[in-house]
Amino acid sequence: MERGLLARFFDRVTRQAFGDLALDDPPAARYLADLLTRFARTEALYPVQTSAKRRLETVGDSLLEIQRIWDWESPEFNPDAERTLRRHIGDYTLFMTGIFRDHIERLSAVGYYQHEGRRAYRFVAELARASDQPEASLFSRLSERFDLYAGSLTYARKVYFRADRLPRAAWPDDPFFGSLLAE
């Protein structure tokens, strides 16, 4: 699927889910559609690289990386990178809690993901607010309504990402889509 088609698909599905759930927050719906589009490529789930080019695969890895970049005696001292890492933690935990909730429940990590996701978005919101950036209110809502937006992603997956609506030949080769489309 071409990225433009995929983006339109996720935009339509997110708007439908928000409408079904009576959620009136177009900026959040757009953000979630963009999040789904970005994370549709499996490698985008782990976009942040350490200076050693090690992929950050877990929330814990990202939190440890935040500590590492704040080591003022290290040549990798880079506190500006924390915003990127925190936003990724928020996005990753929201995506995983919403789309792959069953998996996160099997790991007994739902509460942890919710806590770290809300905390990450709150951090990004406060940085944006301090810099008088317009997206501060969006990230604040993502923090405050984390569970609601994760639930809307779960709803969208269950209602609109159904394999029986697409012929098997139309499924993209990416294993991500197989897991989304299969019930």
The residue extents of the domains of the chain are 3-181
d(C-alpha 92, C-alpha 60), whole Å: 12
pLDDT band at residue 114, thresholds of 50, 70 and 90?
Answer: very high
d(C-alpha 156, C-alpha 98), whole Å: 9
Q: Describe the crossing of helices 146-160 and 26-39 by its angle, rounded to 10 degrees.
A: 60
Mean pLDDT of the region 1-8: 73
The whole-number pLDDT of residue 84 equals 85
- pLDDT surpasses 80 at 113: yes
Query: Is-contact 120 76, C-beta < 8 A?
Result: no
d(C-alpha 89, C-alpha 84), whole Å: 9
- pLDDT surpasses 80 at 180: no
Highest mean pLDDT among 17-31, 56-70, 91-105: 17-31
Query: Is-contact 149 17, C-beta < 8 A?
Result: no
Query: Is-contact 29 56, C-beta < 8 A?
Result: no
Is 171 buried (19+), middle (13-18) or exposed (0-12) by CB count in 10 A?
middle
Please state, in angstroms and as integers, the Cα–Cα distance from residue 1 to each residue in 5, 37, 41, 169, following that order. Answer: 6, 11, 11, 12
- pLDDT surpasses 90 at 63: no
| DSSP character at residue 170 | G
- pLDDT surpasses 80 at 59: no
- The total of other beta-carbon atoms located within 10 Å of residue 51's CB is 13
- pLDDT surpasses 50 at 1: no
The whole-number pLDDT of residue 115 equals 93
Buried b (16+ CB within 10 A) or exposed e, 64-90: ebbebbeeeeeeeeeeebbeebbbbbb
Mean pLDDT of the region 150-177: 71
- pLDDT surpasses 50 at 125: yes
pLDDT band at residue 166, thresholds of 50, 70 and 90?
Answer: low
The whole-number pLDDT of residue 81 equals 75
pLDDT band at residue 145, thresholds of 50, 70 and 90?
Answer: very high
Mean pLDDT of the region 111-123: 93
